[in-house]
Structure 1
Amino acid sequence: MSHSLTKIWIHGIFGTKNREALIKSTFENELHIHLKNKLENELECTVRTINGNKNHIHILFLLNPNYSIREVFKTIKGESSHWINQNDFLHTKFSWQIGYGAFSVSESQLKKVELYIKNQKEHHKQMTFEEEYEKFILKYKVKEGNR
């Protein structure tokens, strides 16, 4: 085969520093739009959906093979925290927690994961971000060294 072909959907999750409830409804939608624009326009990653809660974000996107997962998250987290601080959305300095979760999603599960992300507000009425994240760790059998 003379060409490299990839199609890797990623369910990305990252939280605010110390999991503080810093993502306010006053700028949450703007943040989602900003992240989508950054992913699609600069990194050329197709975004299927973005949502989250007051202390974390979920993104379902198609990974551009020219970038590593680490590069994508470093770029969007660094740039978006700068954007939040530059726009004075908060009375305190904003930053994201170190690290992220990135889980591959098969084509057959896209709609299910998309619905899960879209229903974050409802979902978190019954489960904390910490509980949700631990559930992902168990589901995907992520070992301590891979965290």
Structure 2
Amino acid sequence: MSEKKTVYSRRAHSVCRLTYHAVFVVKYRRKVISPGIMDFFKVHTKYLIEERFRGNLTEFNGEADHVHILFELPPSAAPSMVICSLKTQLSKEARKRYPEQIRGKLWKDSFWSDSYLPATTGGADIETLEKYIQTQGTKKPRSLKSDHRK
């Protein structure tokens, strides 16, 4: 089995890989997102992340009452600002393009619940990182493989 190689984004003054997982839930968990709306959300989310925020949409999917978005951002983009902008733009465009599907299920200007789940992704768990940082500046024990005792 081959291991995946981490691909870093190279910018003028940084090399990074900042990936995020966001979940948006429809207000009152109403089942409003049809396959057509889901397709539109995916295309529009890709456009917003890549063109407006200079990031990369990695994955997008969901169900009738919520969506999951996996994306990368440059260090200059604030994740909370990007997420709030995505929620606002997707809500506004869905109401404009699909009024008949939404009317009666949601009211006023609300489409998404006020909350959202933002999560960073990474290759190591917190415990591994804590141990790594704690051992910085200490002498590393000799590995058994390099021990040439007979």
Report what 1:73 is aligned to.
83
1:9 is matched by which residue type in structure 2?
Answer: T
1:90 aligns with 2:102: yes
SS at match of 2:76: coil
Q: Give the drift of 1:59.
A: 0.7
Report what 2:40 is aligned to.
30
Instruction: Provide the aligned length of Structure 1 versus Structure 2.
Output: 108
Report what 2:26 is aligned to.
16
* Whole-angstrom distance in 1 between the partners of 2:55 and 2:123: 16
Q: Deviations over 1:44-97 (max 9, x none)?
A: 111111000111111110122222111011110001100001112422445111
2:115 maps to which of 65, 77, 99? 99
* Whole-angstrom distance in 1 between the partners of 2:72 and 2:123: 11
Unaligned runs of 5+ in 1: 109-147
- TM-score, normalised by the number of residues in structure 2: 0.64
What is the aligned-residue RMSD (CA, Å)? Answer: 2.2
Q: Normalized per residue, which structure has more helix?
A: 1
* Whole-angstrom distance in 1 between the partners of 2:45 and 2:14: 27
- TM-score, normalised by the number of residues in structure 1: 0.65
Q: Give the drift of 1:107.
A: 4.8
Mapping for residues 122-133 of structure 1, pairs under 5 Å: none
Unaligned runs of 5+ in 2: 1-12, 125-150
2:113 is matched by which residue type in structure 1?
Answer: Q
SS at match of 2:59: strand
* Whole-angstrom distance in 2 between the partners of 1:4 and 1:31: 31
Q: Deviations over 1:9-37 (max 9, x none)?
A: 11111111111111112321112111111
1:55 aligns with 2:71: no
Larger CA deviation: 3-12 vs 54-63: 3-12
* Whole-angstrom distance in 1 between the partners of 2:14 and 2:44: 30
1:95 is matched by which residue type in structure 2?
Answer: F
Report what 1:144 is aligned to.
none
